[in-house]
């Protein structure tokens, strides 16, 4: 996580980052990474990817936007004057080292992507710089796909208004920007940012705006989205309304009380054969949990 990490965890060591630029949201003062730090972190990325492959996953995605790789990309957070700072080419060097090591550990058949922000706003990464970064990653064969986001996550306001927009923002606010990026880069592009309804997701795929829609919060609200679409039951999908209770450490969802409480509450409650009776087959409500799993 770079400067977004927790300096008060484990051994209480300072967080590390490209430069000693404070992170506002978590109030960390990071230590600027030296070459030893860079080498060991690059190696750790590769080892993590290898464990994912050994665990049976089909691929991995590094998180650049706001986290360590993205901090090297950003002129707001990378003030270095060595080979890892300054030009776009230099700021991309750390990402290339990471992805080269991942590929060395997992081979060519494992899918490897990166999630990066397309625009950080005033003083940060611009869309044209991100296009240059993406072209470098494509040229070097570092990625199989790109997962696009927008904005920053290093302050409370930018996190909930830009990076993970909530109910104060319209649905799918960044489709036009991501679509432009996809047309330019020519690689598979994923996107997740308040695409919470099936209509917008279907439009994004049908019109060629995206190659895959990532509906993270929508699946927290209703993990049965795909099953309900396949059964022709879209009207029964429990909607995500963007309340954003799910983005914090203790996950909650206004429309799905079982999210974050899966060991206590059932995700599915079957319809009762008799009105007013508890449903069966969907798990039992624990003592003290309250409420009824009643039918409709």
Tens digits of residue pLDDT in 37-81: 999 999 999 999 999 999 999 999 999 988 999 999 999 999 999
CATH of the domain at 125: 3.20.20.70
Is residue 139, in this structure, part of any structural domain at all?
yes
Is residue 71, in this structure, part of any structural domain at all?
yes
Contact yes or no for 124/72 (Cβ under 8 A): no
Four-CA torsion 76, 77, 79, 80, nearest 10 degrees: -140
- Residue 99 annotated among the catalytic residues of the structure: no
- The per-residue pLDDT for 122 is 86
- The per-residue pLDDT for 206 is 95
Is residue 269, in this structure, part of any structural domain at all?
no
SS3 of 105-117: HHCCCCEEEEEEE
Is residue 223, in this structure, part of any structural domain at all?
yes
* Options 67, 219, 245, 252, the catalytic residue: 67
- The per-residue pLDDT for 8 is 77
Is residue 268, in this structure, part of any structural domain at all?
no
- The per-residue pLDDT for 290 is 42
Euclidean distance between CA atoms 165 and 243, whole angstroms: 10
Is residue 89, in this structure, part of any structural domain at all?
yes
Please give the C-alpha separations between residue 240 and each of 62, 157, 165, 214, 235, in angstroms, as whole numbers.
26, 20, 12, 14, 13
Exposed (0-12), middle (13-18) or buried (19+): which is 164, by Cβ within 10 Å?
Answer: buried
Cα 114 off chain centre by: 10
Is residue 115, in this structure, part of any structural domain at all?
yes
Contact yes or no for 96/38 (Cβ under 8 A): no
In sequence order, what DSSP letters do the residues of 212-261 get, joined into one string?
EE--HHHHHH-TTHHHHHHTT-GGGPPPP----GGGSSS---SS-TTTT-
Domain housing 19? 2-242
Is residue 291, in this structure, part of any structural domain at all?
no
Give the 3-state secondary structure of residue 210.
coil
- Smallest CA-to-CA distance from 17 within 35, 4, 36 is with 4
Euclidean distance between CA atoms 133 and 143, whole angstroms: 12
Domain count, the chain: 1
Q: What residues in the chain have per-residue pLDDT under 50?
A: 282-296
């Amino acid at each position: 996580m770079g400067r977004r990490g927790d300096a008060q965890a484990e051994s209480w060591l300072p967080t590390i980052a490209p430069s000693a630029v404070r992170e506002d949201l978590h109030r960390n003062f990071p230590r600027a990474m030296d070459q030893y730090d860079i080498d060991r972190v690059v190696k750790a990325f590769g080892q993590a990817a290898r464990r994912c492959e050994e665990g049976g996953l089909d691929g991995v995605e590094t998180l650049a936007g706001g986290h360590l790789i993205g901090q090297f990309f950003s002129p707001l957070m990378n003030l270095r004057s060595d080979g890892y700072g300054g030009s776009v080419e230099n700021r991309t060097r750390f990402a290339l080292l990471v992805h080269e090591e991942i590929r060395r550990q997992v081979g060519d058949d494992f899918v490897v992507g990166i999630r990066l922000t397309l625009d950080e706003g005033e003083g940060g990464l611009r869309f044209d710089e991100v296009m240059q970064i993406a072209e470098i990653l494509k040229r070097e064969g570092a990625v199989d796909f790109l997962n696009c986001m927008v904005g920053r996550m290093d302050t409370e306001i930018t996190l909930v208004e830009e990076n993970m927009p909530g109910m104060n923002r319209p649905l799918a606010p960044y489709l036009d920007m991501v679509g432009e990026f996809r047309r330019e880069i020519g690689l598979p592009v994923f996107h997740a940012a308040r695409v919470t309804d099936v209509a917008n997701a279907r439009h994004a795929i049908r019109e060629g705006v995206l190659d895959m829609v990532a509906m993270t919060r929508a699946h927290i609200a209703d993990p049965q989205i795909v099953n309900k679409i396949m059964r022709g039951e879209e009207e029964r999908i429990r909607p995500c309304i963007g309340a954003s209770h799910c983005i914090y450490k203790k996950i909650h969802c206004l429309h799905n009380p079982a999210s974050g409480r899966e060991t206590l509450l059932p995700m599915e409650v079957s319809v009762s054969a008799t009105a007013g009776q508890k449903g069966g087959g969907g798990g039992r409500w624990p003592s003290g949990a309250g409420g009824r799993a009643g039918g409709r």
